[in-house]
Structure 1
Amino acid sequence: MGPTLRRPRRRRWASLLAVTTVAVTAGGALACPAGAAGTNVDFATHCIPPAIAGLPPIDGTTTGNISVDNTSPKVGDTVTVTYTVVTPAANNPTDLALPADIMTPTGKVTLGGAQTGDVTVAGPKKNDPVPGKGVFPSFSMTGTFKVTSPGAIKLSPGDYNIHTSYILELDTPCTVTNPPAPVSETVTATDSTPVNNRAITLGSASGNAGDSVTVNGTGFTAGATVTLAGRAGDAQTADTATVTAGTDGSFSGSLAVNDRTTTGIVAYEGSSWSSEKGAPPASYVVNDTTPVPAGSQKLTTTVKAGTLSMSQAGDAVSLSAVDFGKGGASTGSLNTVTVKDFRGGPAGWSLTGKVTDFTGPGAKIDAGKLSWTPACATKAGSPSTCKAGSAGTVGTSGATLASTPDGTLTGGEFTVDAGLSLDVPAFTPPGAYSGVLTLTLS
């Protein structure tokens, strides 16, 4: 009697194990989750159930889909990847029901084209109950990668594994039979525009014709040859000198200024000044030492140059809440920033911003998911006109919020605003998330 009872029990035990492990590769022709941007692709897979299940390897066709949060990133951006196994290889082969929330998937996405490698992805321990002989649900896994090369980066579904927690802790690995699998999604990366941190200061803001002025620079390329030059408005004068930047990108040099029309001094790398390789002009005036004719009186007054400064209406912004499971745009408005340019020289200014990741309860929202729509207004009578930066991603690499160009005479008062939008992933854990947006005026 004892052996008769034990044998059915062993068969039932094996059946339960089989259901648990086959579930990782099983499925029906389910639609790809809403919002997925990639193309569904079919590829052959070879899945190996744990030996304890007593099942042979499963060779079948998997339908996979790769989607990304940004199809046009810049080099340095972080891209979030979602790998969805839409149609696994088989259905539940037994009459036993499979409980909910026992499957934890992991896998990889293969990169090709301009950037190669694998992206590790993982999914939550989440699945609907599956009836006996029923269709297994699709499942999704997410991960991130940093863009390191410009060009077309092709993403293909890779190997995946399902860890099951039902009766025993078991793994069933499924590999791509003929790697790589077909391309499901392509992102086109562009070179990021580095922030120009070159700047100069002068030992004096004025001097007589022929006097030398000390020029100190920072933020230049280490070891680069830097040209110092006078400027009269937007045109370079004949007064030039060269220095070599140190290993930290700084230098100290001297420029003899002879041209009486000089309004400023610049420093740059390369053959001519540019906003990408040069420091903005520093104001400089050549004193008028022309003798006063007999019987005349020379009247002089002074307009004192001020500073470039900014202030903001507050230091905290509360973005709108989003629902768990839905996610979407969490929106708000930047506190108004007031820029005052009272330097009175030829240099414009640039206001840039960069943001950290948004950290919360055991999770984070990537900085690349914050975007803004800048706006800028110029106070009447200002010599310069403010230009708003482009709408788009802020991220850790930074973006321009507003600027004014160089000119013969610049300055004025300006107010800068921006609409903010944080793209919160649908299943971000509930809680408060915060990041720091840093603004830099130069």
Structure 2
Amino acid sequence: MGSTPRRSRRWRWASLLGATALAVTAGGALACPAGAAPTDVDFATHCIPPAVSGLPPIDGTTTASVSVDNAAPKVGDTVTVTYTVVTAAAGNPTDLALPADIMTPTGKVTLGGAQSGGVTVAGPKKNPPVPGKATFPSFSMTGTFTVTKAGQITLSPGDYNIHTSYILELDTPCTVTDPPAPASQTITATDGTPANTRSVSLGSAAGAPGAGVTVSGANFTPGATVTLAGRAGATQTADTATVTANAQGAFSGSLVVNDRTTTGIVAYEGASWNADKGAGPAAYVVHDDTPVPDGSQKLTTTVRAGTLSMSQAGDSVALSAVDFGTGGASAGALRTVTVKDFRGGPAGWSLTGKVTDFTGPGAKIDAARLSWTPACATAPGSPSTCRAGSAGAVGGSGATLASTPDGTVTGGEFTVDAGLSLDVPAFTPPGSYSGVLTLTLS
């Protein structure tokens, strides 16, 4: 996917405790991210090809899914949503092949159940080459919303638009024929005591430089003056406007967006941005369609989003031996794990682990007896800062080894280590004992 749904990589470490060592091997199975797995859904879609193609509207079927980074949020939490179009209803309308990295998707996710409304989402300018007359490749878009009510909230894929920047700036808007589309994801929100339930949504997820976008908000202070502002990453742009919240704390206003680096739009009370008095950013993309003057050449480059991945330094660990009748700590060190977060979005990550019981000759050592002392280091220049998990038992239920928080700009490279200690009972029968320690990155 372009800005791919958050994926996790599971590494299985098979641990063999002998008289002198704990051996570890690695596997490559994939694990699901935190939260419930999304369901691919099909829905009828009406797409309008660019006028220059001379083609009639396309009535087809879109296959899509919606995933979240937190399937059990509390009221007041911010949930990151990823809308993935697996199979688009539209495609390249010409016989001319389209080159890589000229597609910018935007769209909306529809909320239902305990909370209604829409979530604007946008994806990076990233795609493989598209042959003539071929269906557009799969792509993903991300956005966020604030949970305002407890209960089950459904998320359904909504309208989307495929903007292409090749020779001409063209749009292929696709709308859900019979909205809402089937729900792809359901999350369950619980009551909390949030300091801030303000929310903001946009009438459009993209526009040309100088275009106005409708910004709507809810749960602001009744009668408050609210500033609408563009954001380029973590920095506010010069594009601002003010509106007044009504007696219910809602508003609707227009913001003219000129800054071509805009990535989102926020709304806040007070003289400057304050997370406790504001909402957003809601994803927004500026399509630069400025004509090239005569005698000039327009130069364009693309920063491509990467993936979240991890690797390990070696595949074996030796724990110290213990004596029958004495037992005690069989100690060692986890092989260093390197995490690389090159997704370029707002989501942080979490690296967790859990272990099975250690089985041996007619006996076992309980999983709860394995403990670790995590450590984590952040490479210079990384936008995120790695936090080590708490020292303590790993056990069968699992524990956090390291993590980084969500933020406006996240990513970087990190090294994760841990001291290991298996508390072996004094009269454990002599022999080799084995267990499985599974690490999951999500």
TM-score of the pair, normalised by structure 1 = 0.42
Higher helix share: 1
Higher strand share: 2
**Whose Rg is larger?**
1
TM-score of the pair, normalised by structure 2 = 0.42
